[in-house]
Amino acid sequence: MNTNPTIEYIRAEENIQPSTVWNLTVLDQSCYPMVIRGTWIFDKKLDVKIIKSGLKKLLNYYPHLCGRMKDKNSVHLTNDGVSFTEIDESDLSIKDVFNIKNPIRHFSTVIKPPKIKRGLDPPMSIKITRLKDGCVLGIECSHMCMDGDSFYTMVYNWSQICKKEDFIKPVLNQTLFPLPENLSKEQVKQNAYELGWKKIPKLSFLKLLPKFISGILNERTNAFYISPESLKKFKQKISTDNNFNCSGNVALSSFITYMFMKLFKLDEKTKCKYVTVANVRNRLKDIPTNFVGNASTFITTPSFFVGASVNEIAKIIHQTLEPIRKTPSQELKKLIIMSVNLMNHNLLLFPFDFTKMHSKKPTVVHINNFSKLHIYDIDFGTGKPVSVIPHDLGDQVLIWPAHPDKGGIEVYFTGMPARIIHKLDEGDPWLLEMKQYE
């Protein structure tokens, strides 16, 4: 069964002045091509009436999501609404959801960045699909309007409103984010070169085109599960061996990086880099925890040899991240301002070679950790989700929380690593080593 969908536009409860605008930072603008997609699976029927009522109240706090773009640099708070679709697919069960080829796209309503920029599509769409034994909530949101932290917090706040419970009110004030410095293009380039950043030739991006066309970069593995007990052992061993208090993120990232390099059987003297995404909220003086928009940057380690042990990798990652964790962090502020200056002049300079993430034998390991966000905390009054499908932004390695009843985390590989992993036999030593921590 697949009845015709019911589509409407939900608007904020309060009247918003259409002349008011939400200005995009240069970081927001750089995220223009991307769409964040969240997919929550519930084993109970969602009360659509309560959800719509809560959404109207939520949009009072996030008016840019129901606005429209009228120029390249801002969203006008027109309150034209977000797309809300209801559809009945009661011939499907929750079990069937995981057999659908692309469930993330199947259970969401497409929004297209070019249409958003022209004011034709809303910045966010919502779709509720009724199943035989539950519901699927699919949300698409323009990455220009918020990053992963803001997105999952926004959905959590929505569920809190539906239950009439308190939540931390979001801050929509883009003037808090650092502005580009008044420097010439040449001066910005020179500053980047002095920090060791390198220019990525545009031709290098063209070399990636066949991989985009073939779909290799969209390939993703199933989850590799790591239990809470295994994660605790990782932390304890690394802390003891290296004589520092190792965080769960560092322990996990070190192990994944080690296994990543092992997968491609690179020469031990090959140099690699670890790259992660750092949330700058509460680490920059003026950016609060509840800041809405984009507030993150890449953090890159110095190069290290493929032959490095897990302990050696952990020490390098720990030393790189330690200055970033400070509140406020001057090191992080320096990186953010450098990035903002480069984006302002449309300069393709990076602290790592982006193209080496997607080469036949990658030497850049990019890990994005979502395990601490409000992924499974969503409850609209009928219970929390039984599963949450990770977004499809294409992070090379994604760390995702497992269901709270199970604990631990899930690890997904995307792109070239996924292509190699899919070709491994079930008894392959690499697979057996990855799975021994379940």
- Give pLDDT tens digits for 220-238: 999 999 999 999 998 999 9
pLDDT at 383: 97
pLDDT at 1: 52
Nearest to 154 by CA among 292, 34, 332: 292
CA distance 434 to 358: 22
- Sequence-distant (6+) residues with CB within 8 A of 123 are 64, 65, 66, 67, 69, 75, 82, 111, 116, 141, 142, 144, 145
Helix H segments across 38-179? 48-61, 94-97, 103-106, 113-117, 148-162
Residue 217: pLDDT band with limits 50, 70, 90: confident
pLDDT at 356: 87
Beta carbons of 129 and 51 less than 8 angstroms apart: no
**In this prediction, what percent of the chain has a pLDDT beyond 90?**
84
Query: What's the mean pLDDT in 107-121?
Result: 96
pLDDT at 61: 96
pLDDT for residue 2 is more than 90: no
Query: What's the mean pLDDT in 96-111?
Result: 96
What is the pLDDT of the chain when averaged over all its residues? 93
The pLDDT tens digits for 327-377 are: 889 999 999 999 999 999 999 898 988 888 888 899 999 999 999 999 999
Beta carbons of 165 and 287 less than 8 angstroms apart: no
pLDDT at 297: 93
pLDDT at 355: 84
The pLDDT tens digits for 403-417 are: 999 999 999 999 999
pLDDT at 23: 95
Nearest to 34 by CA among 143, 115, 151: 143
The pLDDT tens digits for 238-297 are: 999 999 999 999 999 999 999 999 999 989 999 999 999 999 999 998 999 999 999 999
Query: What's the mean pLDDT in 113-138?
Result: 97
Q: DSSP letters along 242-285, please? A: HTS---HHHHHHHHHHHHHHHHTT--TT-EEEEEEEEE-TTTST
Query: What's the mean pLDDT in 5-17?
Result: 88
Give the chain's domains with CATH numbers.
6-176 (3.30.559.10), 185-435 (3.30.559.10)
pLDDT for residue 192 is more than 70: yes
- Sequence-distant (6+) residues with CB within 8 A of 20 are 63, 76, 77
pLDDT at 203: 74
User: pTM of the prediction?
Assistant: 0.95
pLDDT at 41: 98
> What Rg, from alpha-carbon coordinates, does the chain have?
22
Is the previous residue joined to 122 through a cis bond, with omega within 30 degrees of 0? Answer: no
Query: What's the mean pLDDT in 126-144?
Result: 98
Report the Cα 234 to chain-centroid distance in Å: 25
